[in-house]
A and B are shown apart, each in its own frame.
Chain A
């Protein structure tokens, strides 16, 4: 696995209740492969799908696929559509905007988006 050495010890953090909530540390940045997600468990039992794009930017949305019900959004493929990052659900392939959690195939569906940073 190729890793830029300077990122090795950085940590990924999720803001618990935006915008003022505490930052919750999840894992080393090195665990996030560009273009691939991981799931994190929050203290209250919620699940967050975390992603990192090729430019190094981090994103977090709720892990649960609102269409299929399984907690699998972290296992979808990511991409860029009109300059915006998205993940496609591995179940039935609906796309979700990674910054807002908006479903791009159905206006009425949106999943929670989280603030994510590395420190």
Chain B
């Protein structure tokens, strides 16, 4: 079949990888998708995905999440995308591309973005069963399947950036892992000897075995042809069940060679500064398959993106904006196996007459080197073990730093160590090298486009949406810019306290402060002391006191004494206020499991009090439309039937959803219902900075949606995987895997620690998702603290939780047994039997709904203003 182009010119893109996708976006941005027919031939069985983040598949990112495009984009731009259909031949004279399926496409412009292939050294046995490369999602799936089925030991050939990633992944799959590197050190391209030594030490401390200075000579196989080991150049043999080759990549230029395009001596399609092939003006090459005008093939994504923009501009023939690609920065930052490694600029000091400034502490696995030119210009550097300064230093490269170079490498605590902030950078400094965004552009986004948060700036400038290594500097810049433009970035909780919630938590815990007034009068802002506080800090402090109640010696019952006055309106009535002044009632239904009797009781109560009933999104039942004076009567019946408060009103544990699990489901591998119930009963009543939600799924099919919860648990055949920081709501976030294959006891202990650490350090109304994104070090830091106990506080966290569990009491049962508290549940203090006449209902679908009083009250009609 031949697809003939009509009057519209056709662009054919071969290869839908990261750079290909970026090229399509650039076409769209320049309006070319509207004026051209765009055909994409994609070899892999799925459209473009984030290859840079490939390894995150092993920490739970699904192939769908790695995707870099969606049907909406493809459709909106009218792109013809042929997935799983690679280009096989190019006829340049006829300007035709033939795909494997036999389809033929005529082109006006052809763009090759075929990437590269992993180089496999020609050793005997390299094709044996159990030998893999590490490039595509399919590679990862195959490695995972093989590792799970039949491997205990794995070896990676190549100790470069990708080799280390692959070795980390094998370790994550539970294999004993080896790295074999021909060069005398790890990551030979990026780091020098000193950096390699620091890296080696840290990697070995993690239980990986590193063999440097040796080559692989032969892959040893058994009778069935499966890998059993590797012969090394020093004569030794390494027993291994699985081999991953990661010995570098080579440009995929075969298609180009076959049609006579010029390629470089060592591969790569030769292009000019517009990324146009030197042989044919109708053909472009971009990304890892291209040999750029500066004679280099770039194996990183940022230069590829730049080439994509360049080619799109050249095709648009845009006179006003004609970028050229003449070379790019090879800076890299890697965080893997918990080690930071970064190199930037002239990392190896190849510039004439340059000097090194080195700080090295091999005990701590730290190595920092800066390369400085004669005139003091920062030329490049290497950071191992602590790459916090990477963003700033990379951006400073090419200029004379405002402070002495020594002070830039010394650790923060050591004498004259200077923490150079991004404010020292010039406006031209490139902050995000993935998207080529300068500091000036970011500042402009804050001042000109009134972005006030990092997510807004990301959206507006694209900065930080690539590899993510610049996000930290981005955050610092945004804050600095806001401060500079006079927006006071007061981190205090509210007008009454200059401290953050976390600081107040520490004060309350350390000094055992038991009342809000005491805290306000001693630690409040000067002019707030002695006053009545406000509606922001009262519930926040009330929550801190409630979380710590048993440990600081106060009652855990939130309606006692002064605590009653601190609670949000809902907590004060232990129910959720609705728009007409009525309340909703949500009894706890742990794990979503309920007996027929329980259902009948709820049904009878709802019928007797005329309540509207609905199954909630949290696997329980909500009864709406109760008047305040009905709450105690309703709850007396619920408590009698064994129900407890569901805390639907509180910043506290809400629900632990469950799937039916192993007991009934043919796929289940653990009893998810029992675990959900256990967790819900353990953490019920726990007051926290924001609401807490959880779920337990009985297998990886994930019917309970645990990965959208603050803490989610998924059964594995070996135990439980714990995910944290998930969120639904307006800004959904997939949870991160915190730990794998935990026993029941290990799981509970980790959750105890995680929750208490969150409660201790989060801001007011900060869900675990935002907290995890905000706190310095993110997930890694949290893992260090709660899994490795790096701060030595786990015992305290566990004991705080033990106190909570031991002192839990159902607050509705306590309330209905206290006549003085019950007296508060009236519409009118002077007419306890009179219901509030404003609370009215009208029928809808056989139940009730609020009848909103749409009267004119005071000065303005109600409609319209209610939306505020």
Which residues of A are in contact with B by a Cβ distance under 8 Å? Answer: 1-2, 26-27, 31, 33-36, 38-41, 45, 47, 50, 53-54, 62, 64, 66-72, 75-81, 83, 85, 88, 90-95, 106, 108-112
19 contacts between A and B (CB under 8 A): A33-B564, A36-B564, A39-B836, A40-B828, A40-B830, A41-B827, A47-B836, A68-B862, A69-B862, A70-B853, A76-B569, A78-B532, A79-B532, A79-B535, A83-B527, A90-B577, A95-B535, A106-B868, A108-B859
Shortest A1–chain B CB gap in Å is: 6
Contact between chains at B829 and A50 (CB < 8 Å): yes
Given contacts A41-B834, A77-B568, contact A69 B866 (CB under 8 A): yes
| Secondary structure of the A contact surface, majority rule | loop
Q: Give the residues in chain B near A50, CB-CB below 8 Å.
A: 829
Given contacts A35-B532, A79-B538, contact A27 B855 (CB under 8 A): no
Contacts of B448-505 to chain A: CB distance below 8 A: 495-496
CB closest chain-A residue, reference B836: A71
Contacts of B557-581 to chain A: CB distance below 8 A: 561-562, 564-566, 568-570, 572-573, 577, 579-581
B800 contacts chain A at the CB level, 8 A cutoff = no
Q: Give the residues in chain A near B528, CB-CB below 8 Å.
A: 80
Q: Give the residues in chain B near A109, CB-CB below 8 Å.
A: 858-860, 865
Contact between chains at B581 and A72 (CB < 8 Å): yes
Contact between chains at A79 and B534 (CB < 8 Å): yes
Contact between chains at B830 and A26 (CB < 8 Å): yes
Q: Which one of A31, A33, A45, A72 has the highest number of Cβ atoms from chain B below 10 Å of its Cβ?
A: A72
Contact between chains at A1 and B532 (CB < 8 Å): no
Q: Give the residues in chain B near A93, CB-CB below 8 Å.
A: 535
Given contacts A76-B569, A108-B859, A109-B859, contact A71 B838 (CB under 8 A): yes
Shortest A25–chain B CB gap in Å is: 8
Interface string of B601-633 (1 = CB under 8 A from A): 000000000000000000000000000000000
CB closest chain-B residue, reference A78: B532
Q: Give the residues in chain A near B858, CB-CB below 8 Å.
A: 62, 66, 109-112
Given contacts A40-B829, A50-B829, A69-B855, contact A91 B862 (CB under 8 A): no
Q: Give the residues in chain B near A106, CB-CB below 8 Å.
A: 868
Given contacts A26-B829, A67-B866, contact A81 B534 (CB under 8 A): yes
Shortest B560–chain A CB gap in Å is: 8
Contact between chains at B857 and A69 (CB < 8 Å): yes
B732 contacts chain A at the CB level, 8 A cutoff = no
Contact between chains at A53 and B569 (CB < 8 Å): no
Q: Give the residues in chain A near B317, CB-CB below 8 Å.
A: none
Contact between chains at B561 and A2 (CB < 8 Å): yes
Q: Give the residues in chain B near A112, CB-CB below 8 Å.
A: 858
Task: A92 to B867: give the CA distance in the assembly, Å.
Answer: 9
Contact between chains at A1 and B820 (CB < 8 Å): yes
Contact between chains at B831 and A41 (CB < 8 Å): yes
Q: Give the residues in chain A near B566, CB-CB below 8 Å.
A: 35
CB closest chain-B residue, reference A12: B829
B324 contacts chain A at the CB level, 8 A cutoff = no
B852 contacts chain A at the CB level, 8 A cutoff = yes
Contact between chains at B857 and A38 (CB < 8 Å): no
Contact of B838 among A70, A92, A110 (CB under 8 A): A70
